[in-house]
Chains A and B, each alone.
Chain A
């Protein structure tokens, strides 16, 4: 733990990429393989399940520090991070532990899951007493299962590639599935990760997916991309990006976040595919009568459910809309041009001939103008715009453009002008700054009285300078405080953008919006001039 804490501190203490890379390399070359394996797991974004419920963690920390509950709450509001708050309030340790990260994870933290409260309490008191500030912070993070390190996965990949003396792309491939959580990181696994490249690379792959190729947002005019004929155009779906892998007689369904989600989609788990196939596509709930994808909210109902009843499966059938073929007959096709992969994909979908595997249709248009007109139909078709894929593009790794480019040409978001009514401090970099806002629009009640109804929360979209201004304004216009939340005089108007809108019985306003974010501050508008709930509801009807 001490070495991992030192690595964490080093990564945290510099913003320079090279210094981070040095620190990673130093750690990986010196750490015991089993410790390094766990470090890779966390640095690459692995999130273990929470070993101790937050409530207990907080309760025992308060007890250990002999602090009042309300005082802890004040501290937490100032720090904005539970693990950090706990690390700050605990008294100095009496002992020092030399146990490695793997032992901490497997022998100490792992067994806490599901243990009875008394055991957890005794364990925490004992462990806290042998860790210093930074180690305690990490310990609580590791227990809590919500751990992020200030280092990109790309950088971890580069450090490991230097150690293995291999291409970072190969390392990215080997790293696929590391963070899924179904496989425990091991020393042997780490050694395989940094082994020199070998001919048997493919056999080792098991059910792992390929690194996803990601698209860039198109900012320029599409005509600047040259001849339309050089581009493969498809609709951009709003579902779950996924790879369906068929190897060794089994199907593996991987989300773009590298979670194995096969069990959540029995329709796709039972798809009969030829051995050695990897399809890239979008999971969608399909509205068969209309022949269109159902809104994301419907898919969300599927994701949210632990038990998939036959009724739900019948009501909300999922399909994979396939748009790329990455492997056929066990052969990696990512080096082929887009158009050739497309031909092979069409062939595959036709051969498979099952309802749950659909082909993402190509959109044909004579020129960019006609295409732009088609794009205007996106909402009624239940899509978000277009994907433009260079006809000669290879399938790259991540958001790269060295072997070809994918553009997403999205429709403009919906937008309304709304009033800021509640604010709460953010966390991490935004701790103790008011950055989490609740926005409201006007509604008229039965008595004809106009009142503000909250309809969305948004955090992003303002610059640091704007955040500082808004933060000051919130402090000046606070009406009431409820714990960390402040209600403010309704004065500030913002243009709020969002991608979709659906009816919702769980929200006060009766609607739920998707991906709300702040487009800009409307200093030119007074609260009175903000939009109404009726205007929002109208968006439900209109495409």
Chain B
């Protein structure tokens, strides 16, 4: 039996369905798992994505020919039954389920197992072959409970505010910024959001996600900035935009902050371990829950995951994709592509 999904020059390709999943080169039909830049690219003729993600996808890509499916809704295309299921990664993120001739494949896109307030929680989907990401596919990555992380962020903010210092937290504009916002205690002071994240905040609010009130930096009196929590994209670090905050404490929110080396390279005061991806136990839980006997591993620690899964008796192999970046380079260069 030939594989339902293969890797082509353009991207992951569903052979019987004649469509691509998150292609990295322009194609006729693209199913998009989520709106991050390395998965949703411009230039495709037809897009299919989860209805919950339509707003953020348009905020990123502008007007494209987009069809949407509600989570769980089915559509048949060239004899392949397609449905989208929550991946718990960011608003509108989906796993793509493909069924053809009694065989089921699921492409996970990026996913996170722990539920959070900004998107629908990950839903395990049974399948024969599961295509999984492996961004944090090493046993050193085990996330703390997110409430602990939010408490630590709020505590850091409170102490800075008491000492008259702004708290600047760097987080990717789409997904991580909203996740951080959802965990803040608005009673501690004003919350300022960098302009890059505002369109996405609007899309999240429009989709019914509750976020605390955020303000543009120009709307806050200078004296109040010293008590403020500022959410800014990593690219703002070291830019003139930061000057107005005077003496501030800075932090970075990412799964990579699990490692001291990564935090020190960012040279920020604090690293908060907050990821939109599954940690090592999360990846293994999701793989187990899929009940798949064949696993295809994409971007991240491919070699490690494949070896481990084979050791566990599964038929595992790697898929070479252009998603994200090599784990370390993404962090070293701070590219926006690899939101983590």
Contact = CB atoms under 8 A, between A and B. Distances in A.
Among all A-B residue pairs, the 9 with the closest Cβ atoms:
A431-B261, A88-B140, A432-B328, A429-B264, A75-B140, A14-B269, A74-B304, A468-B332, A89-B139
Contacts of A475: 326, 329
14 contacts: A13-B269, A13-B270, A14-B249, A67-B139, A70-B307, A71-B138, A78-B138, A78-B259, A88-B139, A432-B262, A432-B331, A468-B333, A475-B326, A475-B329
Nearest to B250: A15
Interface of A: 12-16, 65, 67-68, 70-71, 74-75, 78-81, 84-85, 88-89, 425, 427-433, 464, 468, 471-472, 475
Contacts of A433: 265, 328, 332
A12 B267 CA distance: 11
Contacts of A432: 259, 261-262, 327-328, 331-332
Contacts of B258: 88
B154 interface: no
B9 interface: no
Contacts of A13: 269-270
B261 A427 contact: yes
A471 B265 CA distance: 14
A15 B267 contact: yes
A65 B138 CA distance: 13
Contacts of B329: 471-472, 475
Contacts of B311: 68
Secondary structure at the A interface, as helix, strand, loop or mixed, is: helix
B272 to A, nearest CB: 11
A81 B304 contact: no
A377 to B, nearest CB: 44
Interface residues of B, number: 28
A81 B264 CA distance: 13
Interface in B137-154: 138-142
Contacts of B65: none
Contact of A75 (B138, B260, B264, B267): B138
Interface of B: 138-142, 249, 258-262, 264-265, 267, 269-270, 301, 304, 307-308, 311, 326-329, 331-333
A41 B106 CA distance: 57
Contacts of A80: 261
A55 B20 CA distance: 49
Contacts of B270: 13
Contact of B332 (A14, A16, A471): A471
Contacts of A428: 260-261, 264
Contacts of B301: 74
A71 B304 contact: yes
B139 A429 contact: no
A87 to B, nearest CB: 9
A428 B267 CA distance: 12
A118 B339 CA distance: 45
Contacts of A425: 328
Contacts of A65: 139
Contact of A12 (B138, B139, B260, B331): B260
B87 to A, nearest CB: 25
A8 B236 CA distance: 29
A431 B259 contact: yes
Contact of B259 (A68, A71, A79, A472): A79
B260 A81 contact: yes
B265 A71 contact: no
B321 to A, nearest CB: 16
A186 B259 CA distance: 34
Contacts of A78: 138, 140, 259, 327-328
Contacts of B249: 14
A188 B267 CA distance: 38
Contacts of A70: 307
Nearest to A70: B307
Contacts of A468: 332-333
Contacts of B307: 70
A81 B260 CA distance: 9
A204 to B, nearest CB: 39
Contacts of A14: 249, 269
Nearest to A431: B261
A80 B261 CA distance: 8
B142 A88 contact: yes
Nearest to B333: A468
Contacts of B267: 15
Nearest to B307: A70
Contacts of B327: 78, 432
